[in-house]
Chain A
Amino acid sequence: MTIDFKNLPKQELFGQGNVGCKGCGAAIAGRQAMKVLGERTIITIPASCMATLGGNNTKTTWKTPFYHTLFECAPAISSGVRAALEIQGIKDVNVVSWGGDAGSADIGFQSLTGAAERQEHIIHVLYDNEMYMNTGGQTGSQTPLYAITSNGALGKKVHKKNMLAIMEAHGIDYVASANIAYPEDLMNKFKKAASKKGFSYIHILAPCHRGWGIKPEETIEVARKAVECGMWELFEVDEGKRTRTYEPSFIPVADYLKAQGRFKNLTAEQTAELQKSVNKYYGKGE
């Protein structure tokens, strides 16, 4: 089950005239996903950058129904949408909740774990810019170790919560990580998720140049480095079967980290520590 990457639909269901910043990683993720999800998709988005850039007054960015929900409850809303479609006998619609890292892993986690446990027939996307950008870039559970944020000038002191492992532990149909610099991989994952009858979770690393301290035109490049250095593994767990979907080239983690202002205070020891943990994870010794 793969997409025909060379013959993607020309139609843009998301992205024409959005009010996001130029180089917005979240908007790129939206555009890529919609190429696969198609017109018969209902999107619910909790409070976040993605929600506000989706529609202003009578102008909307989406060509599918989309609903800017309250912060905590997009997966619960989507559960209700699915129930209403089922009762009306409408079967071929993708119901997608699309949350930021706060709207999925922090304040939105309760409704996410609830919907996943119930095996609701929905896809939940966490588009991860690793901080609370819509409110100015504060630290959250998805902010990585040592990253500087608007309310954490000294850098984060604890690890990023492993949402992919947590979601995998729900025993849901489909779990995948993705990255906007690997659109074909990302789109294939959406294709699979859309074919499932239960719950799917796709976690997309989508840099925010303002929060990360990079230039707008570097969004894709930095996203790619996250994968190539091994800090953002591309994989899927398809009905329990775990597969790495891309083998990285293992550039030094320093190449990824040094490219970003949010890691400007990283010491040599901290960089070495992060390199060591990547090496260990991939079984490359210390």
Chain B
Amino acid sequence: MNKVLITGSEAAALGAKLAKIEVLGYYPITPAFPAMERLSKYIEDGELNCKFIRVESDHSALASVLGGSLAGARSYTVTNSQGLLLMTEVVYHAAGLRQPIVMGVANRALSAPHSRFPEHGDAVSQGATGWIQLFSENNQDVLDNTIQAFRVAEELRTPVMVNYEGYLQSHTLEEVFVPDQGKVDAFLPLKRMPALDVTNPRGVNTVAGPDVYTDYKYIQNAAMEQALELIPKVAADYNREFGANSCGLIEGYMMDDAEHAIVAMGSIVGTARLLVDELRKQGKKIGLVKVKTWRPFPAQAVNQILKNVKYVTVLDKNIVFGVGGALATDIKANLYGQGSMVINGAILGLGGGKCGVKEIKEAVDHTESSENKNRSEWIGL
């Protein structure tokens, strides 16, 4: 294992390279494109034996990767924001076809108005698609999550998105430990399961009548529930094999005696750690819950870790219009009837907006002020 200084884009590309992807379909979009450029360079330099399909749209990017997967190849793509929205039809379809595709998503705000900057709106828009969604706090997570994603996807026949934020992660250098190729090979044995195979001809996506459609969806959802058991196991295996410190579904920080919990996903988790450290020094019993796995939603794990707190502040870098932040909505739904804590959602950092220690502190204070109970606060307007 060696240590390198790389961007999140490079970490995503390196993860895919270590996983020895065989089909890469890709259409350029900012800020996902550096990951693809790095991968196409690996291919051109002969470091990765992979077919790169230079498609004419994001829709075709995921379609080509899906074709590759159906014909038995380990397949990967990377996108974000408008590209992900254009793909959405294929996103649902790939999950229904149970194809173990892994997709990096360099999260970016959605138009309109036009924005090139980070937030989770794109990932959240895909929350009902049937893809597993992992979030990354830092570039180490991007690499670790990408490798683990292939293992999870292939064991469950369910596609996985690995989210990392545009610029904040995609373009920011951090130290990353890189696992050895030989060990990754052992961690990710290639078991081909082509659905399109001339030696075993089958029809794929035949018309399903009302008598069977619900059953298909039930089975698809059951795989998502299995993922709640598999993801922590895969993370534990990964940590054992590579001496890493990767979290499974969620991770608590200073949660043992916490009365107030901040819950967050993505890069803001790292910022929230700073605030927790600062407030702990002042004697405040505050902790942090990092949500790595957002889909499937780790309801039990979240409920367990939050069961003794008085206050929950959920940080959402996304807005579901007319509802609130997606993570806060999930947490409230899952804690319903479980306790009497105050759960406030904070909407912040949209389209690259401020979401530093100061803004998180503001959100925490809002939650504890008596007149604000179980609401969504907009921070940094």
Q: Does A54 contact B (CB under 8 A)?
A: yes
Closest to B208 in A: A57
Which residue in B54, B67, B207, B212 is a CB contact (below 8 Å) of A84? Answer: B67
CB-based contact A62/B64 at 8 Å: no
| Given the contacts A111-B57, A114-B57, A118-B54, A80 and B201 also touching, CB distance less than 8 Å | no
Q: Could you tell me if A62 and B203 are in contact, using CB atoms closer than 8 angstroms?
A: yes
A260 at the interface (CB under 8 A from B): no
Q: Which residues of B contact A93 (CB under 8 A)?
A: 198
Q: Is the CB of B206 within 8 A of A77?
A: no
B209 contacts A80, CB within 8 Å? no
A77 in contact with B67 given A62-B201, A67-B196, A88-B72 (CB within 8 Å): yes
User: Is B93 on the interface with A (CB-CB < 8 A)?
Assistant: yes
Which residues of chain A in 76-98 are interfacial with respect to chain B, using CB atoms and an 8 Å cutoff? 76-88, 93
Query: B90 contacts the other chain (Cβ, under 8 Å)?
Result: yes
Which residue of chain A is the closest to B206 with respect to CB atoms?
A55
* Distance of A118 Cα from B57 Cα, bound (Å): 13
Residue A64, interface by CB 8 Å: yes
**Cβ contact of A83, chosen from B60, B64, B212, cutoff 8 A:** B64
Pick the contact of B207 from A56, A66, A72 — CB < 8 Å?
A56
* B residues in contact with A78, CB < 8 Å: 67
Minimum Cβ distance to chain A for residue B157 (Å): 16
Total interface residues on B, using CB and 8 Å?
47
The docked-state distance in angstroms from the alpha carbon of A73 to that of B23 is 17
B327–chain A nearest beta-carbon distance, Å: 30
Q: How far is the CB of B78 from chain A (nearest CB, A)?
A: 15
Complex Cα distance, B59 from A66, in Å, reads 21
Binds B, one of A38-46, A174-182, A218-226: A38-46
Interchain CA distance A80-B75 in the complex, whole Å: 9
Out of B49, B54, B195, B203, name the residue touching A87 (CB < 8 Å). Answer: B49
A245 and B209 CA atoms in complex are apart in Å by 44
**Is B68 close to A, CB under 8 A?**
yes
Complex CA gap A163/B194 in Å reads: 33
In the complex, per-residue mask of B199-226: 1 if CB is within 8 Å of any chain A CB, else 0: 0111111111101100000000000000
Question: Does B66 interact with chain A (Cβ within 8 Å)?
Answer: yes
**Alpha-carbon distance between A59 and B61 when the two chains are bound, in angstroms:** 30
Interface centre among A42, A75, A93 (most CB of B within 10 A): A42
Query: Which chain A residues border B196 with CB–CB below 8 Å?
Result: 42, 65, 67, 81
Give the number of chain A interface residues (Cβ < 8 Å): 45
Q: A141 at interface (Cβ–Cβ under 8 A)?
A: no
Report which of A59, A65, A117 forms a contact with B201, defined as CB distance below 8 A.
A65
A7 CB within 8 Å of chain B:
no
| Pick from B23, B63, B204: contact of A111, CB under 8 Å | B63
Task: Kindly state the separation between the CA atoms of A93 and B200 in the bound complex, as whole angstroms.
Answer: 13
Q: Is the interface of A mostly helix, strand, loop or mixed?
A: mixed
B159 at the interface (CB under 8 A from A): no
Asked if residues A66 and B204 are in contact (CB atoms below 8 Å), the reply is yes
* Residue numbers in A under 8 Å from B207 (CB-CB): 52, 55-57, 68
Minimum CB distance partner of B67 in chain A: A80
In the assembled complex, the CB of B361 is this many whole angstroms from the nearest CB of chain A, namely 47
* Cα of A54 to Cα of B63 in the assembled complex, Å: 20
**Residue A69 CB within 8 A of the other chain:** yes
Given contacts A62-B203, A65-B202, contact A83 B90 (CB under 8 A): no
Query: When the two chains form their complex, are residues B206 and A58 in contact, meaning their CB atoms are under 8 A apart?
Result: yes
- Judge whether B22 and A84 touch: CB under 8 Å: yes
What residue in chain B is nearest A120 (Cβ atoms)? B53
The CA-CA distance from A118 to B60 in the complex, in Å, is: 13
State in angstroms the CA–CA spacing of A273 and B73 once bound together.
54
Q: How far is the CA of A86 from the CA of B73 in the complex (A)?
A: 10
Most buried by A among B23, B194, B202, B203: B203
B71/A84 in contact, CB under 8 A: yes
Within 8 Å of chain B (Cβ to Cβ): is A113?
A: yes
Cβ–Cβ contact A83 & B68, under 8 A: yes
Complex contact A68–B51 (CB within 8 A): no
Answer yes or no: A210 CB below 8 A from chain B CBs.
no
Within 8 A of B (CB), among A223-247: none
Per-position binary interface string of chain B over residues 84-109, scored 1 when its CB falls under 8 Å from any chain A CB and 0 otherwise: 00000110010000000000000000
From known contacts A70-B90, A114-B56, infer whether A77 and B203 are also in contact, taking CB-CB under 8 Å. no
Q: How far is the CA of A216 from the CA of B257 in the complex (A)?
A: 78
Q: Contact at A113–B56, with CB atoms within 8 Å? A: yes
Q: Looking across the interface, which residue of chain B has its beta carbon closest to that of A113?
A: B56
Which residue of chain A has the shortest Cβ distance to B56 in the bound complex?
Answer: A114
How far is B337's CA from A231's CA once the two chains are assembled, in angstroms? 72
A-B contact pairs, 29 of them (CB 8 A): A39-B198, A56-B206, A57-B207, A57-B209, A65-B195, A65-B197, A65-B200, A67-B203, A70-B63, A72-B59, A73-B60, A75-B60, A76-B25, A79-B25, A79-B60, A80-B63, A80-B68, A81-B68, A83-B53, A84-B23, A84-B51, A84-B67, A84-B71, A84-B72, A87-B49, A87-B73, A88-B71, A114-B60, A117-B56
Closest 3 CB pairs of A and B: A80-B67, A114-B56, A55-B206
On A, residues with C-beta under 8 Å from B are 39-42, 44, 52, 54-60, 62-70, 72-73, 75-88, 93, 110-111, 113-114, 117-118
A sample of 16 more A-B contacts (CB under 8 A), given A63-B201, A65-B198, A84-B194, is A39-B198, A40-B198, A42-B198, A56-B207, A56-B209, A64-B201, A66-B203, A67-B205, A70-B90, A78-B67, A80-B67, A80-B70, A82-B67, A84-B75, A110-B60, A111-B63
